[in-house]
Amino acid sequence: MNESITLISLISTTIKFILLFFLNLGIGAIGFIPSFFVTAINIDSLGLLLGVILTLTGEIFGAIIGFHMYRWGFSKINPRWLSHTIFKSVKNSSPMHVFILIILSRILPLIPSGIVTAGASLTTITGWRFMSASSIGKVPAVAIEVAIVFGVLQKISINYFYGVIILLLVIFTTFWIIKKR
């Protein structure tokens, strides 16, 4: 009986992990949706250790997917806008300069991940270098995020937190629908 309960628990945790992994990848690839709420869901659903592992892997691999998506997307649009001086300076930066900028930009939690990823995709940096720099910068940023989220989860009810998430989703969806009309 105990073995079947353990097996069911393991299967349940594995399914949660896989579903949350894809959610984390999507949020990481888009890069403009704050991962704070997903980190809270990860920690609440899987515990601190697995939640941190999931958050970090989702952020890193999501950023890599986003990098390649942005690079592909930018290659398909009219390149005239790239002639602006800001984009010329970004495009002409040395790979080492871009590498260092990615690390520093990832460490700062106020810079949206999507801006860093999109900017890097406009440069000549390789995918491997981007992944390395992004990973180095994400580790301290995720540690700070996890510390804040864990502290918040200790102070407020998880039901209240999920209520706030649902409320924000409703508000953003409403604004998006109004804007589309």
- CA 7 to centroid of chain Cα atoms: 31
Residue 12 pLDDT: 83
Distance set, CA 8 to CA 14, 52, 66, 137, 171 (Å): 10, 23, 34, 37, 37
Residue 75 pLDDT: 79
Pairwise CA distance, residues 27 & 31, whole Å: 6
| CB-CB neighbours of 99 under 10 Å | 22
Residue 22 pLDDT: 93
Residue 57 pLDDT: 93
Pairwise CA distance, residues 112 & 123, whole Å: 18
Q: Which domain holds residue 163?
A: 2-180
Q: How many helices (H) and strands (E) in the chain?
A: 7, 0
Q: Assign 135 a pLDDT band (cuts: 50, 70, 90).
A: very high
Task: Convert the pLDDT of each residue in 76-122 to its tens digit.
Answer: 776 666 666 766 676 777 888 889 989 998 887 678 888 889 888 88
Residue 134 pLDDT: 93
- 59 compared with 7, residue with greater pLDDT: 59
Quick one: which of 79, 60, 64, 76 has its CA closest to 136? Answer: 60
Q: Is pLDDT of 5 > 80? A: no
Count of domains forming the chain: 1
| Residues in CB range of 173: below 8 A, 6 or more apart | none
Residue 68 pLDDT: 93
Residue 108 pLDDT: 79
Residue 60 pLDDT: 92
> Cα-flanking dihedrals φ and ψ of residue 153, to 5°?
-65, -25
- CA 22 to centroid of chain Cα atoms: 11
Q: Assign 167 a pLDDT band (cuts: 50, 70, 90).
A: confident
Report yes or no: 24 and 57 within 8 Å, Cβ to Cβ: yes
- 5 compared with 45, residue with greater pLDDT: 45
Distance set, CA 29 to CA 34, 67, 71, 156 (Å): 12, 8, 12, 29
Task: Convert the pLDDT of each residue in 17-70 to its tens digit.
Answer: 899 999 999 988 887 777 888 888 899 888 899 999 999 999 999 999 999 999
